[in-house]
Amino acid sequence: MGKIKAKISYDEVMCSVASREIRDHEVVFVGQGIPLLAAMLALKAEKRVTLVMEGGIIGCVPYRPPIHIADCTAFTGVECCCEMVDMFGMFLMGGKIDVGFLGTSQIDKWGNLNTSFTKDPRVSFRGRIAGSGGANEIAGFSKRLIILLHHGKFIEKLFYRTSPGWLEGGTSRQDADLPGGPSALITLDGVFRFEEDTKEMYLDSIFPGKTVEEIKAKVPWDLKINPDLTVAPLPTYEEVLMMRRFSPNISLGRLRWAATQTDELRRLSTKNIELTEKYDILDALSTSRMRKAPATENLWPIDELPPPE
Amino acid sequence: MTEPEVYDKVMTMKEAISKFVHDNDILGIGACANNIPYSAVHEIIRQKKRNLHAVQPTSMFEIDMMANAGCLREVSFSWSIRMFTGVRGIDRAISEFGIKVNDYTNYTCALALMAGAYHMPFLPCTESVYQTDIYNWANEGMFARIQNPFSKEGKPPITLVQAINPDVAIVHVQRIDKKGNAQAWGALGTVRHTAMASKHVIVSAEEIVDEEIIKRSPNQTIIPSFYVDAVINEPWGAHPTEVLGCYDFDRIIVGQYILASGTLALFEKWASEWIYGLENREEYVKYYIHKFGFDALNRLRAKTLLSTPYNIGSTFQTEMQKLNIKLEDIELNPELVELEIETGKEV
C-alpha cells in the first residue's frame, strides 16, 4: 500500500497544539483566526465547549470562519445573542469565561502584551496597529489565558503595554486584584509556560524540526528552558484535513492565502473587474508583502483543495 | 391648546444627514463590525462634514474611510481592522494630519457609551485597564481614579471611565416602522447604548414595516420610537458588511477598499467612483449591479431560516385579531364591517 504524503505548515502545528489546551466543558472566548480554528479542532475532538465572541455571540458552531467578532452570518443559529457590555461586564468579570485566547504582536517575559504599536509611539505614530479591542479585559479576567505569537516578537521592554500578563512577575498580578493570568504562550517554534512562583516565561516544549538555539536567538533575554523539554506532537491527518477544509487562509498562513485572493476577487465577479487599470492594484500589491508569498501548491496537495464555492 | 409638532420621520439619507449631522459634532457609530451604517457614512463624506469626533469601539472601515476623506478631528475607539501595517487612512490621519486619538478598550468604550445612555457622569471600569498603558497614556477626560466610598479601609481605589454623549448616532437595523421603532437581531455590540446616549438618532433600515409586525415581536425592538429622529428606508444600507438575515460580507468591495486605502491618491480614485460619483444608496446598488453583475449581488443574499414564533397572546382578542382582518383590509373592502344601531335599550 502507498503512503499519503502531505506537507503541513507550522501554523497547523500551532493550531493543533493550541486546541489541546482547551479542556472539556469549558467556556472559551475566541477571536478570529487561529484561536477560532483551535476551538473548532477542540469541538471536532468532541470536547463540549461553549464558544463565545465579544460582539455578543454565545454558543456558536461556525460553518465558515467568522470575519470579525460579531459575525453572526457564520453560524446557523446561536444559543444567545447579547450586547458587548453584557459579555464583558457580566460574563467575563463574573468569572464565567474559562479560557481566553489572544494573539499578540509583542510579548515580554511576564506575558504582558502589546497589540497597539509596532514602533515606539514616542518616536512615531506610524506603527499603530489594531489596538486593544477586547484584549485588555480578556487578558485581565479570563481564568486561563492562552497567547498566540504568530508574526510577532519577544521584547525586553514593551513600547506600550496593551494587555496585562503577570505584570512584573511574582505576586504583582495578584496584588493588582486581577484574577487568572497567562498559562501558555504558543509560537511557531514551541510552547512556553510560566514559572509557578516567579511567573517568568520558560520554554516547555518545542515543535519538531526546531532547535533550542534557534528559539533562544529570537528571545532578547536569557530564556529559561524546561529541563524535561519535550517535542510537541504533530497534528493528526484528520485534524489537518479539517483545518484546511474549514479555513485555508489560517491553515496555510495569511500571506499565502492573500496571494490567492486577487484571483479570487476576479473570479467572484461575473464581469471582469479590471482591477489593474482602475486601482493600480499591482502597485499596491508590490508595496505590501503579498508578492513575497510562496506559491500555494508547494504546500498543498492539489486534490486536497476545497471545492470552489 | 397647541397641537404637538408632528413631522414625518421618514426621509432620505441626504435630508437626514444635512439636518442632524453638523461640523464639529460627536458622531456615534452604532455598530460593532456588523450592520455598519455605510450608507450614512458615505453621505457624511459626500456632504463634506468636517471636524467630526467619531466614537465606536470596534471599527471595520468606516472610521478609516472618514479619516481618508478628511472628516475627522478626533476618534474614540479601541480597535480597527488592519490588513497591512501603516497603510490605513487612520494611520495617515494620526501621523500626518494629527487627529486626536482616544485609545480605549472595547469594554471601556462600551461603558462610556452605556454611562451616556443611562445619564450617569461615569461608570467604574476595570483594574486591567489601570495596570496598562491604556490608562497611563490616556488623554485627559477619559479615565480617573477615586477611593471607593463604600469600601472598607485598605481597599485600593477604583478606576472610572467618563460618559460619552454623542451629538448624533447613525444606526442600521433590519426593520423599522414609520414611528421609528427599530428592530435588529444578531450580535448587538454597542448599538443600543450608542443610540440612547445620543441627542439625535438616525436609523436606516433594510425595510420599513407595518407597526403591527413590530408589535408581534416586541423584544426585538432595540430602540423605541421616541429616541429616533430620522427613519430611512435603505435596502443594502450596510453593504459591504453583513446584516443577519439579509446579506453577507462582500469581499469584492472590501478588497478594493483595503487596496485603495493604501495611499490618499488611490482613495480619491476609489471614492470618486463609489461615493462622490453616486447620488444615494439606490444608485450605489445599481452601479454595483452594472459593474459586477446581478449574480455578484445575489450571491450575498441570505437564505431563509425563520425564527420560531412565540406566543404573545393575552386572555382576550380583538374582533379584528379573531377574524384576522387588518385596518387596510377594511379600507379596501368596507363591506367587511357591518355596523348596526342597537335599539330598544335607550338610556
Q: Using one digit for the tens of pLDDT, what is the confidence trace for B306-321?
A: 999 999 999 988 888 8
Beta bridge partner(s), residue B80: B59
Residue A106 has pLDDT above 50, yes or no: yes
DSSP 3-state assignment of A10? helix
User: What does the DSSP assignment read for A109-129?
Assistant: TT--EE-SBSS-TTT-GGGB-
Residues 256-295 of B with CB under 8 A from A: 256, 259-260, 262-263, 266, 269-270, 273, 291-295
Chain centroid to CA A215: 19
Cβ separation of B34 and A70 shorter than 8 Å?
yes
pLDDT digits 0-9 by tens, B70-124: 999 999 999 887 765 555 788 888 888 889 999 999 999 999 999 999 999 999 9
Question: Which is the catalytic residue, given A12, A21, A26, A54?
Answer: A54
* Nearest beta carbon to residue B256 from set A55, A89, A279: A279
Which residues of chain B make contact with A131, given a CB cutoff of 8 A? 77-80, 103
Structural domain boundaries in chain B: 13-121+163-298
Cβ separation of A133 and B33 shorter than 8 Å?
no
Which residues of chain B make contact with A85, given a CB cutoff of 8 A? 107, 110-111, 114, 190, 193
Query: Cβ–Cβ contacts within 10 Å for residue B132, how many?
Result: 27
The top-scoring range by mean pLDDT among A35-44, A246-255, B236-245, B246-255 is B236-245
Find the closest chain B residue to A167 by CA distance.
B131
Which residues of chain A make contact with B143, given a CB cutoff of 8 A? none
Instruction: Give percent of chain B above pLDDT 70.
Output: 96
pLDDT digits 0-9 by tens, A54-66: 889 999 888 777 8
Residues 17-56 of A with CB under 8 A from B: 53-56
pLDDT digits 0-9 by tens, A264-282: 555 544 444 444 333 333 3
Mean confidence (pLDDT) of chain A: 80
Can you give the pLDDT at residue A144?
94
Can you give the pLDDT at residue A284?
37
| Residues near A229 by beta carbon (within 8 Å), at least 6 away in sequence | A203, A204, A205, A206, A212
Q: Which amino acid, one-letter code, is at B225?
A: S
* Nearest beta carbon to residue B252 from set A137, A269, A284: A269
Prediction pTM value: 0.89
CA-nearest of A21, A307, A275 to B251 is: A275
Can you give the pLDDT at residue A256?
52
Which residues of chain A make contact with B128, given a CB cutoff of 8 A? 136-137, 139-141, 163-164, 178
Residue A5 has pLDDT above 80, yes or no: no
Lowest mean pLDDT among A226-230, B2-6, B15-19: B2-6
φ/ψ (deg, to 5) at A19: -65, -30
Helices and strands of chain B, counted as H and E runs? 15, 14
pLDDT digits 0-9 by tens, A201-220: 999 999 998 999 999 999 99
Residues A164 and A192: beta-carbon distance below 8 Å: no
Q: From CA B143, how far away is CA B323, in angstroms rounded?
A: 59
pLDDT digits 0-9 by tens, A67-83: 788 888 888 789 999 99
Render the burial of A100-137: b for 16+ CB within 10 Å, e for the rest.
Answer: bbbbbbbbbbbbbbbbbbbeebeeebbbbbbbbbbbbb
Q: How confident is the model at residue B7 (pLDDT cuts 50, 70, 90)?
A: low
Cβ separation of A160 and B189 shorter than 8 Å?
no
Q: How confident is the model at residue A128 (pLDDT cuts 50, 70, 90)?
A: confident
Is the CB of A282 inside 8 Å of chain B's CB atoms? no
Q: Which amino acid, one-letter code, is at B88?
A: R
Options 3.40.190.10, 1.50.10.10, 3.60.150.10, 3.40.1080.10; CATH of B13-121+163-298: 3.40.1080.10
Active site annotation includes A54 = yes
Residue A302 has pLDDT above 70, yes or no: no
Chain A nearest CA to B23, separation (Å):
26
Query: Cβ–Cβ contacts within 10 Å for residue B251, how many?
Result: 16
Instruction: Give percent of chain B above pLDDT 90.
Output: 65
Q: How confident is the model at residue A249 (pLDDT cuts 50, 70, 90)?
A: low
ipTM for this model: 0.88
Can you give the pLDDT at residue A262?
54
More confident residue, B342 or B141: B141
Find the closest chain B residue to A273 by CA distance.
B292
Residue A305 has pLDDT above 50, yes or no: no
Can you give the pLDDT at residue B201?
97
Can you give the pLDDT at residue A279?
37
Cβ separation of A54 and B296 shorter than 8 Å?
no
Residue A133 has pLDDT above 80, yes or no: yes
Is the CB of A84 inside 8 Å of chain B's CB atoms? yes
Can you give the pLDDT at residue B322?
87
Can you give the pLDDT at residue B81?
78
Residue A253 has pLDDT above 70, yes or no: no
Domain annotation for chain A: domains and CATH numbers: 10-237 (3.40.1080.10), 254-304 (no CATH)
Segment B215-223 mean pLDDT: 94
Q: From CA B105, how far away is CA A30, in angstroms rounded?
A: 17
Cβ separation of A55 and B34 shorter than 8 Å?
yes
Q: How confident is the model at residue B198 (pLDDT cuts 50, 70, 90)?
A: very high
Cβ separation of B105 and A136 shorter than 8 Å?
yes
* Nearest beta carbon to residue B85 from set A67, A93, A118: A118
Angstrom distances, CA of residue A160 to CA of A59, A182, B112, B138: 33, 18, 23, 12
pLDDT digits 0-9 by tens, B261-303: 888 888 999 999 999 999 999 999 999 998 888 888 888 899 9
Is the CB of A90 inside 8 Å of chain B's CB atoms? no
Can you give the pLDDT at residue B346?
64
Q: From CA B28, how far away is CA B113, in angstroms rounded?
A: 9
Can you give the pLDDT at residue B204?
97
Residues 203-242 of B with CB under 8 A from A: 242
Residues B86 and A126: beta-carbon distance below 8 Å: yes
pLDDT digits 0-9 by tens, B23-60: 999 999 999 889 999 999 999 999 999 999 999 999 98
Instruction: Give percent of chain A above pLDDT 70.
Output: 79
pLDDT digits 0-9 by tens, A145-184: 999 988 789 999 998 999 999 999 999 999 998 999 999 9
Cβ separation of B244 and A269 shorter than 8 Å?
no
Residues B108 and B135: beta-carbon distance below 8 Å: no
Chain B nearest CA to A130, separation (Å):
5
* Nearest beta carbon to residue B128 from set A71, A164, A281: A164
* Nearest beta carbon to residue B134 from set A127, A130, A132: A132
